[in-house]
Homo-oligomer: A and B are copies of this chain.
Amino acid sequence: MRDVAAAADVSLKTVSRVVNREQGVGTATEARVTDTIRRLGFRRNDLARSLRRGQSTATIGLVVGDVGNPFFSGIARAVEQVAHDQGYMVITGSSDEDDDHERELVATLCSRRVDGILLVPAGRDQRYLLPEVAVGTAIVFLDRPPGGIGADAVVLDNVGGARRAVDHLLAQGHRRIGLLRDSTTVLTAQQRTRGYCAALAGAGIEVDQRLLRSGLHDADDAARAARDLLALDDPATALFAVNNRMSLGALRVLHCHDSPVALVGFDDFELADMLARPITVVAHDPAAMGATAAKLLFARLAGDTGPHRRVVLPTTLVARGSGEVPP
């Protein structure tokens, strides 16, 4: 900028005015400066700008479990869209559902002075965020509510959705319904398990611990667990998968299984309706979740200081076949 000023024979401030389209620059001067800028290939340094202005880096952070998972990439896409409309960029990080990794990502984002953070928490305790909140960083939770602190959150009706899924299986006459779930620490898995238990309780069925498989990290784990459940002395006749990866594993097993086994999965799939055995799911809208959370964040950045809000998005049971198999 100094170089531009020297070359155009004006003061630094004048260049700054031109760059920022401020008023009060003579047309001739402006033309000369604009020209010099182009000639020298000058580009404003937004780092320095943010530093000096002391606020708004026009950047928000997004921490999800894994951008490679369509659920999260759907969120990411929507967030990016809203951010772009506001002139913001987004730094995305995947926590791999790991507590420490989550904290590390958040810390880095804060060090870079992002204006706000959209967080899908992996851990159960986000008290580590208290200093950041105090400093004024806006934070909105996605998919799972905050632990140990108050904050805005956009979540799904997990208990209700799971309950409806399992009720649906019960209505088909199933009594032995296996549960496939990932890490027990992730709150959504817990809530969906609650829905599962509530449905069974509603039908007067006691939960058989052997039908509950936890700590499954990926589709392969889920597939192994599904095979297990179908090989029990008193095997499961139906499966409830708490998320898309669990469903994927289950699908892989059921696809090669002779006697039909019922399956309902949480999270929808792109090709769900065109499968050999179209899968019945608890569907919801990841993009709506991302967009809602992002809008909430920008409302906070715009000065909204109302009480913490919790938005609960609905889920719908979409019957496609795999859930309508009798025992």
Contacts and interface: CB of A to CB of B under 8 A. Distances in A.
Interface of A: 41, 43-48, 50-51, 57, 59, 66-68, 70, 73-74, 76-77, 80-81, 84, 89-94, 107-113, 131-132, 134-135, 248, 251-252, 255, 269-271, 274-277, 287
A108 B135 contact: no
A92 B61 CA distance: 11
B43 A111 contact: yes
A29 to B, nearest CB: 23
Given A134-B41, A270-B248, A76 B92 contact: yes
A251 B271 CA distance: 9
SS class of chain A's interface: helix, strand, loop or mixed? helix
Query: Which 6 A/B pairs are nearest by Cβ-Cβ distance?
Result: A68-B77, A41-B131, A73-B73, A46-B111, A271-B271, A46-B112
Nearest to A131: B41
Contacts of A252: 274
A1 to B, nearest CB: 13
Contacts of A112: 46-47, 59, 89
Nearest to A80: B94
A74 B274 CA distance: 23
Q: Which of A57, A111, A113 has the most CB of B within 10 A?
A: A111
A279 to B, nearest CB: 9
Contacts of A131: 41, 43
Nearest to A271: B271
Nearest to A41: B131
B274 A113 contact: no
Given A45-B111, A89-B112, 19 more contacts: A41-B135, A46-B111, A46-B112, A47-B51, A47-B112, A47-B113, A48-B51, A51-B51, A67-B77, A67-B80, A68-B74, A70-B270, A73-B76, A80-B93, A89-B109, A251-B274, A269-B271, A274-B275, A276-B276
Given A112-B46, A270-B248, A276-B274, A89 B80 contact: no
Nearest to A48: B51
Nearest to A79: B67
A269 B269 CA distance: 11
Nearest to A112: B46
10 contacts: A43-B135, A47-B113, A59-B91, A67-B80, A68-B77, A89-B108, A89-B109, A90-B91, A255-B274, A271-B275
